[in-house]
Amino acid sequence: MIEITFLGSGGGRFITITQFRSTGGFHIRASRNVYVDPGPGALVRSWRYKLDPRKLDVIFVSHRHVDHCNDVEVMIEAMTGGALKKRGVLIASKSVIHGDETHTPAVSKYHLDVLESIHIPEPGSRIAIGEEEFLITPTQHSDPTTIGFRMKTRYGDISYIPDTAYFDELLEWHDGARLIIAAITRPRDMGIPYHLSTDDAVEMLKNMEHKPDALVMSHIGMKMHFANPYKEAKYIETVTGVKTYVAKEGFRVMVEKNEIAVRTLRPARFI
């Protein structure tokens, strides 16, 4: 079984600064423990849902925007036992490691030095992690180095489509994935550049030859939050026939051989 736990489902500046939805990214338990897009709150939320960040093996950061990378250094500290042992893998966009014209690097040299390996892959690269393999996928985002992935597992492929505009190539990269987790920031008729809307999700799923068993909407922006993402999910499901879920803090997806099951966890009391 592959177990995916969301430590938040918010995205965009206004949801992030208000924490109307938390912004911690998600955790994948496969043959290794992988943390994806540790935005603000990732460390605190990990403990809240009893996912010990000291047991992480891999951290994946799609791009250098703060709602995706804010907690990356502290998560590296957890993964490396307080930066005391050389351990773990970081897979990140070029902007995360090197910065760009408007952003400093998101990870200091101190933190890079305690990692066992660092990957700054281009789309099309393949990285083997335990029994799984990450195929790195492209995007069209305001951070042009943003990367997604298609994770090959024995239970089928799990795709992550982070912040991106809709473009036809998305279909080729993600067609046939069993589960798609996508940053669907905006509701119907309210699309903005460089992000997916409900309309884009419908367009993508309609055009897929092999549709996924399920779609999980994440990176909910303020407009989506108030438009009611559950209504948007229902719309996607009705129009495309693809089971569509809305992520939230504590939402867990279990990808098993014969089914994809979901549940919502209760937070631990102590935090």
Spatial separation of the C-alpha atoms in residues 204 and 190, rounded to whole Å:
17
Nearer to Zn ion, 163 or 175 (CB): 163
- Three-state DSSP class for residue 231: helix
The tokens for 230 are 């559950």
Residues 6+ apart with CB under 8 A from 143: 63, 64, 65, 93, 95, 100, 163
* Minimum CB–partner distance for residue 164 and Zn ion (Å): 9
Nearer of residues 192 and 268 to Zn ion, judged by Cβ: 192
Using the Cα atoms of residue 108, residue 113, residue 118 and residue 120 in order, give the sign of their dihedral. Answer: positive
Q: How far is the CB of 192 from Zn ion (least distance, A)?
A: 11
3-state helix/strand/coil string of 166-200? CCCHHHHHHCCCCEEEEEEEECCCCCCCCCEEHHH
Dihedral sign, Cα of residue 158, residue 163, residue 164, residue 165: positive
Cα separation, 29 vs 18, whole angstroms: 29
Nearer to Zn ion, 65 or 94 (CB): 65
Nearer to Zn ion, 141 or 252 (CB): 141
Compute the least distance from the CB of residue 65 to Zn ion, in Å.
4
Residues 180-239 that bind Zn ion (CB under 5 A): none
Residues in 120-149 at the binding interface with Zn ion, rule: CB under 5 A: none
Task: Tell me the two tokens of residue 53.
Answer: 């960040």
Q: Which is nearer to Zn ion, 194 or 235 (CB)?
A: 194
Nearest approach in angstroms of CB 37 to Zn ion is 10
Least separation in angstroms between residue 22's CB and Zn ion is 17
How many residues are there in the chain?
271
Of 67 and 157, CB closest to Zn ion = 67
Q: Of the two residues 11 and 187, which places its CB atom closer to Zn ion in the complex?
A: 11
8 Å CB contact between 231 and 201: no
Q: Which residue spans within 131-257 are E strands per DSSP?
A: 132-137, 148-153, 156-161, 179-186, 196-197, 214-218, 243-246, 251-255
Written as one letter, the residue type at 186 is: R
C-alpha count within 13 angstroms, C-beta hemisphere, residue 102: 6
Closest distance to Zn ion from the beta carbon of 139 (Å): 9
Nearest distance from C-beta of residue 96 to Zn ion, angstroms = 12
Phi, psi of 129 (to 5 degrees): -130, 105
Nearest residue (CB) to Zn ion, 88 versus 138? 138
Structure tokens at 62: 């799609």
Interface size with Zn ion, residues (CB under 5 A): 2
Applying the rule CB under 5 A, the residues between 145 and 164 that interact with Zn ion are: 163
Q: x/- contact string, 45-74, with Zn ion (CB under 5 A)?
A: --------------------x---------
In whole angstroms, how close is the CB of 6 to Zn ion at the nearest point? 18
Task: Give me the residues that bind Zn ion (CB under 5 A), please.
Answer: 65, 163
